[in-house]
Structure 1
Amino acid sequence: MSSNSTEFEAAAFRRLLEHLGQRSDVQNIELMTLAGFCRNCLADWYREAAEQRGESLSKEQARELIYGEPFSDWKAKHQREASPEQLAAFAEAQKSHT
């Protein structure tokens, strides 16, 4: 692995966040169903990584870093009510991952 791997990983993470920011049409429930993680998971992982390194970060602060704005603002602008089909697909995906 290159000595620059942390820089490459950080750049890839920033690009992932940029991509997710551009794809606000993709709902978290769809990400969870298809990929097993969502924007909230990324925020949790970010917060956990900070805590492992002695940094205190609230859930809201981590989400704002991932969403690029306060979560409540993003949610009001972009999050739709999950359809019955999305809920069923999510439930089925959860069964197959446990």
Structure 2
Amino acid sequence: MDDATRTELEAAAFRRLVQHLRDRTDVQNIDLMNLAGFCRNCLSKWYRAAAEEKGMAMSYDEAREIVYGMPYEEWKAKHQVEATPEQQAAFAKSSAASH
């Protein structure tokens, strides 16, 4: 496989992942962090870092809007719920284990 084809496939898979996360607003970021160790905000940070590596200026908010499909504050107001004590405890445990 040549590099251009690999890049196209990777980009398509990324777009599919982002769309899936946009569609699954019921899945909270804390759930993603607890199960997979990354969330929509992580993807946004990685996207911004990739842009900066290419010499493109991009704010964190701009990157989050790309991943969330809307401004982050709007997404939070529409879809984010308060984390349960169990979710918070799992996050604290997984965060401690990863450091």
| SS across alignment from 2:56 | coil
Moved over 6 A (4+): none
Give aligned pairs, total: 98
- Scaled by the length of structure 2, the TM-score of the pair is 0.95
AA partner of residue 32 (structure 1): M
The equivalent residue for 1:37 is: 38
Q: Unpaired segments of 5 or more residues in structure 2?
A: none
The equivalent residue for 1:68 is: 69
- Measured in 2, the distance between the counterparts of 1:70 and 1:96 equals 32
AA partner of residue 19 (structure 1): H
The equivalent residue for 2:11 is: 10
Q: Unpaired segments of 5 or more residues in structure 1?
A: none
Deviation at 1:2, TM superposition (A): 3.5
| SS across alignment from 1:66 | helix
- Scaled by the length of structure 1, the TM-score of the pair is 0.96
Deviation at 1:96, TM superposition (A): 2.0
1:87 aligns with 2:88: yes
Q: CA RMSD in A?
A: 0.9
**Percentage identity across aligned positions?**
60
The equivalent residue for 2:27 is: 26
